[in-house]
Amino acid sequence: MTLYGYALSLYQYFHQKLQIGFLLWEKFCEYLGKDELIDDCFYHIARSGYYSIEKAQKLLEYKPRYTTWETIEEVMKYYIEKRWIVIPS
């Protein structure tokens, strides 16, 4: 799943409309404004990848216990229960 897909899933979980946009790198750097933040963001983006379990499913007959959506739902419930995420009333 892509980053966009995860963002969409989280918005759906909270019954919100996805409101996300993308900036060109130059505009993003202007927005951040600090070289150390720009370097940190670049490092994070450069080492983050798109991962797939297709090879494990094929070669090892791996079957995940939960779907991506079920995982997101469980994590959000846990975060809310632990009050790591607080939903305003």
Give start and end residues of each alpha helix (H) in the chain: 3-13, 25-32, 35-47, 54-60, 68-81
pLDDT at 68 over 90: no
pLDDT at 64 over 70: yes
Do 60 and 33 fall within a single domain?
no
Residue 16: inside a domain, yes or no?
no
Which pLDDT score is estimated for 5?
A: 78
Do 47 and 60 fall within a single domain?
no
Name the domain count of the chain.
2
18 torsion bin: left (phi>0), alpha (psi -120 to 50), beta (else) = beta
Q: Which residue has the tokens 């799943």?
A: 1
1 confidence band (pLDDT: 50, 70, 90): low
Token code pair at residue 7 = 């963002």
Q: What mean pLDDT is reported for the chain?
A: 86
Do 46 and 73 fall within a single domain?
no
Host domain of residue 42 = 22-51
pLDDT at 48 over 80: no
Q: Identify the DSSP state of 23.
A: -
Residue 12: inside a domain, yes or no?
no
Token code pair at residue 81 = 């229960």
